[in-house]
Amino acid sequence: MKLKVDLMTSFDVEEVYLIEEIIHPNHHWSKTSFYNELTNNLSRYWVLRNEDNKILAFIGIWLIFEEAHITTLGVHPDYRRLGYAQILLVKAIKECYKNMIKYITLEVRESNVPAISLYEKFLFESIGVRKNYYQDNGENALIMFTQNIWYDTFKNNFNNIENNIKKAEVFYDE
């Protein structure tokens, strides 16, 4: 299957919102939130499409000085465990390098073991907990952070992951 990573546009919001509703039925981003993010100069959002132009996954980051914050990452449930979140993380990290970012942070539900494992593969580490962070059920969020992404340990790990993805048919908007 050929995959393509594109910048998210306002035309993509409806389809992204439908995925968001499926992923988080009790508490999800609004369409307005996505539209606002697309007009924010600090934000970068991408979608992963298949050859039929269907959106399978999406990611968003904020770029603030030397730090990036992953705001959202979602994969349609029918397409999980296929490496699609990993493809989008590679795109986001490449954008961080392009913008001279040093550190990347995010919050993730304590119970979301698959996501935590993915982030740990990219050398994110848990550095704390935000108590009662999620409004739908009061679940805590782990605060995860990278070391400086310019350090050899991070760069070598990232390059290995990226090289494995390059073996698949993935096309990035450059």
pLDDT of residue 80: 93
Is 20 among the residues known to form the active site? no
Catalytic choice (17, 45, 84, 119): 119
pLDDT of residue 168: 64
Q: Which two tokens stand for residue 112?
A: 């979301």
Region 31-54: mean pLDDT is 95
pLDDT of residue 165: 84
Task: Encode pLDDT of 67-116 as tens digits.
Answer: 999 999 999 999 999 999 999 999 999 999 999 999 999 999 999 999 99
Query: How many domains would you assign to the chain?
Result: 1
How far apart, in Å, are the Cα atoms of 165 and each of 64, 82, 119?
A: 27, 11, 16
The CATH code of the domain that includes 98 is 3.40.630.30
Catalytic choice (67, 95, 103, 107): 107
* Residue-number span of the structural domain to which 130 is assigned: 3-172
Please state the pTM of the whole predicted model. Answer: 0.92
Cβ neighbors of 19 (< 8 A, separation 6 or more) are 55, 57, 58, 74, 75, 76
Is 119 among the residues known to form the active site? yes
Phi, psi (degrees; rounded to nearest 5) at 97: -60, -45
Q: Which two tokens stand for residue 72?
A: 């959202």
